[in-house]
Amino acid sequence: MTTFRERSTENARTAAKRDREAKLTLAEILEIVAGGRLPLSFTAYDGSSAGPPDAPLGLELKTPRGTTYLATGRGDLGLARAYITGDLEVHGVHPGDPYELLQALTGDLVFKLPPPRVTAHIIRSIGARHLRPIAPPSQEGPSRLRRAVGGLRHSKIRDADAIRHHYDVSNTFYECVLGPSMTYTCACYPNSAASLDEAQENKYRLVFEKLRLRPGDRLLDVGCGWGGMVRFAAHRGVEATGVTLSEQQAEWAQRTIVDEGLTGLAQVRHSDYRDVAETGFDAVSSIGLLEHIGVQNYVSYFDFLQSRLRPGGLLLNHCITRPDNRSEPSPRGFIDRYVFPDGELTGAGRIISAAQDAGLEVVHEENLRHHYALTLRAWCANLVEHWDEAVAEVGLTTAKVWGLYMAGSRLAFETGGIQLHQVLAVKPDVDGNVGDLPLRPWWTP
């Protein structure tokens, strides 16, 4: 015979089990994985909410599809998918510059994997249908595995496809973001009050001086973009040749060369750098190209560039790097799928080693990561200012991708997650001589 006390105990256990198996709301799930520390407000389509309701920053999960994107996307890919499709809305920031929200997410919000039993409860609450991957947004590029169908990584065909994806967005759009300089690489700020255009001009001046260019010299600029370095050098009497895999960049650059009366000294070709046949250049500049080359190809890359130089000629490589040389150059999900297909980063030490292994003598290197954070801040400000024009040109989704990418990159440069190094090297002659280089750096910082 079961006593009243035994029946009460059994009922309590049943109720407790039922409570444990009750579905968690989306807000409760977020609170669990965030350890209860939410620096922003969160609301969801299931009616739940979490975090300070009066917080200046907030996230709003609007659709079940957004839950699926968040649950199935690895790393930052799920968040990006939900955000750019509008399934996850942000509040308190402009889509052209969501820096403050990203800062809150990466700085104050720490996600932790809960205990196995709690994790299982979360999975049951989310539901199996949200754990099955669905088609990504149409703007997302294919995975690296699927890209392999189009050719080996860093083959000429696949590199051309990657460059078109990133740089042939729209010259008008880039004008909205980059401003008059049309320079899509890290600027070098002479002081914190300098404008973006002044800082970009100063960057070209720094590269020009490091390469010891003089009137009558010959410069090869690989990955030349819209021809900023080419035109800067040509205005100072240097015969400058630029190459880019972006057809839109080459057309814009050649038109501007004509407009500025530089046709006798400057040219920009729509070409792979590996197709440059001329040799004997006094200097080679590579500003923002190495990120597209692939770490395994560094030695052959530097070997080719040094083969274009005369003995005693100088090479400057300017590129984004990792803060160490140990981690493998694995791609980040969002960046690889939406921004830089096949891009790879590594530490400055591996770059220097590759340049040395190709027979170059490295004479100087420096880190400009703080300058890139300032550059990205200015680009985001430009996008915000020209938001309506940018959206009209490329669509809301692409504009949001760029705002997210640039603001996130700014944060990474500020915190040291990525860096920007300039490496200067010289080509010795057969006897190891490097010409009349001064004993100490000869340029103005």
Question: Which pLDDT band, with edges at 50, 70 and 90, does 244 fall under?
Answer: very high
> Is there a contact between 140 and 221 (Cβ–Cβ < 8 Å)?
no
Residue 391 within a domain:
yes
From 91, 115, 131, give the residue that closes a domain. 131
Condensed to tens digits (0 to 9), the pLDDT of residues 225-234 reads: 999 999 999 9
- Mean pLDDT (the chain) is 90
Residues 346 and 415 in one domain: yes
Residues 318 and 172 in one domain: yes
Tell me which amino acid residue 27 is.
A
Q: Is the pLDDT confidence value at 358 over 70?
A: yes
**Per-residue confidence (pLDDT) for residue 138, from 0 to 100:** 87
Residues 46 and 182 in one domain: no
Residue 271 within a domain:
yes
From 114, 131, 148, give the residue that closes a domain. 131
Residues 300 and 213 in one domain: yes
Residues 273 and 310 in one domain: yes
Residue 33 within a domain:
yes
Residues 310 and 343 in one domain: yes
Residue 147 within a domain:
no
Instruction: Give the global pTM.
Output: 0.89
Residues 103 and 161 in one domain: no
CB neighbours (10 Å) of residue 71?
A: 19
Condensed to tens digits (0 to 9), the pLDDT of residues 331-341 reads: 668 988 888 88
The more confidently predicted of residues 361 and 18 is 361
Q: Is the pLDDT confidence value at 166 over 90?
A: no
Residue 436 within a domain:
no
Residues 191 and 51 in one domain: no
Q: Is the pLDDT confidence value at 183 over 60?
A: yes
CATH number at residue 327: 3.40.50.150
Tell me which amino acid residue 405 is.
Y
Domain that holds residue 353: 156-426
Condensed to tens digits (0 to 9), the pLDDT of residues 385-431 reads: 999 999 999 999 999 999 999 999 999 999 999 999 999 999 999 99
**Per-residue confidence (pLDDT) for residue 146, from 0 to 100:** 62
How many domains are there within the chain? 2
> Alpha-carbon distance 393 to 169, whole Å?
9
Residues 193 and 122 in one domain: no
> Alpha-carbon distance 342 to 87, whole Å?
27
The more confidently predicted of residues 289 and 330 is 289
- Chain center to CA of 170: 18
Residues 246 and 107 in one domain: no
The more confidently predicted of residues 74 and 262 is 262
Condensed to tens digits (0 to 9), the pLDDT of residues 205-240 reads: 999 999 999 999 999 999 999 999 999 999 999 999
Residue 287 within a domain:
yes
The pair of three-digit structure tokens given for residue 253, joined into one six-digit string: 């650059």
Q: Is the pLDDT confidence value at 368 over 50?
A: yes
Residue 410 within a domain:
yes
- The string of DSSP letters for 157-225 reads HHHHHHHHHHH-S-HHHHHHHH-TT---S----SSTT--HHHHHHHHHHHHHHHTT--TT-EEEEES-T
Residues 325 and 223 in one domain: yes
Residue 39 within a domain:
yes
Residues 125 and 175 in one domain: no
What does each C-alpha distance from 269 to 222, 248, 277, 434 come to in angstroms?
10, 11, 12, 30
